[in-house]
Amino acid sequence: MKKAIFALPLLVTCAPAENTLPKPVEYTFSKTPSWSDEFNGEGLPDPSRWSYDVGSPYNGWGNNELQYYTEARKENAYVSNGTLKITARKEKMDGLEYTSARLVSKGKADFLYGRFEVRAKVPAGRGTWPAVWMLPTEWAYGDWPNSGEIDILEHVGYDPDVVHISTHTKDYHHSIGTQKTAKKKIENATTEFQLYRVDWTPDYIRGYVNDEQIFSFANEKRDFKSWPFDKKFHWLINLAVGGNWGGQQGVDEQAFPALFEVDYVRVYDLVKP
């Protein structure tokens, strides 16, 4: 199974424009989470909620990144003092120069629609590339980008405090210059926790930073090529090093170990109109 391949996002307006589509149904969400991880306690991430993608770009996925993703290793993923701490370290493993972790909820927490929140503090330093995102659990429409991808938070260290929210589909992705994405520069993304959110409904996906909407992608009601978001997706949380996007301006070795810290992730159920 191939994983998603990233590049520097392009903000492109593609026909049909959202304002030419039928007015979407407006949805609400439950007041309390139906699923969450508050990252309380101490030790490795909760194995009832999280597994690991293990390995390197040699596995056939990744974006020419420089890290080896480890499994259940406290040096790379650990819970303490109420937060998940993913640490990328300058250390050799499997022929690579760095180690890190990529947590996935696949098969343990899979979702179709809802409000997805993460409160996080991203690392500083050139070459860091943290992300909280979602991939399809079954890949019903084929390999990436056909089955879709939802990026709730991305940040690259060479562009401090600029955060990104994006979606990828067969019709709309960076490889053909049509990616749907938005970015916002906020204060203190690397020094303070910020709230990132995606509202995913049958009619639209909207993205928010600290409750301010910065992104919207409407269901054009055509086919899976524009909207594969009618199947279950799962969480991913990772910290990459370098790569096609994260490494565009090199990697500052002095930035490591680099810490990506997550206060919580929460899911609120969709309430139908």
Distance CA 127, CA 251 (A): 4
Which pLDDT does position 21 carry in this prediction? 66
Residue 107's CB is within 10 A of a number of other CB atoms, namely 9
Residue 149 annotated in active site: yes
Query: What is the pTM assigned to this prediction?
Result: 0.91
Residue 42 annotated in active site: no
The tokens for 39 are 């990252």
SS (H, E, C) 209-262: ECCEEEEEEECCCCCCCCCCCCCCEEEEEEEEEEHHHHCCCCCCHHHCCEEEEE
Q: Which of 65, 154, 220, 261 is catalytic?
A: 154
| Domains of the chain (ranges, CATH numbers) | 30-271 (2.60.120.200)
Q: Which of 149, 212, 220, 261 is catalytic?
A: 149
| Helices H / strands E in the chain, number of each | 1, 20
Identify which of 52, 53, 46, 99 has the alpha carbon closest to the alpha carbon of residue 76: 99
Which pLDDT does position 207 carry in this prediction? 98
- Rounded average pLDDT per 10-residue block, the chain, 273 residues: 40 46 86 98 97 86 91 98 98 96 98 98 98 98 97 98 98 92 97 98 98 97 96 98 96 98 98 83
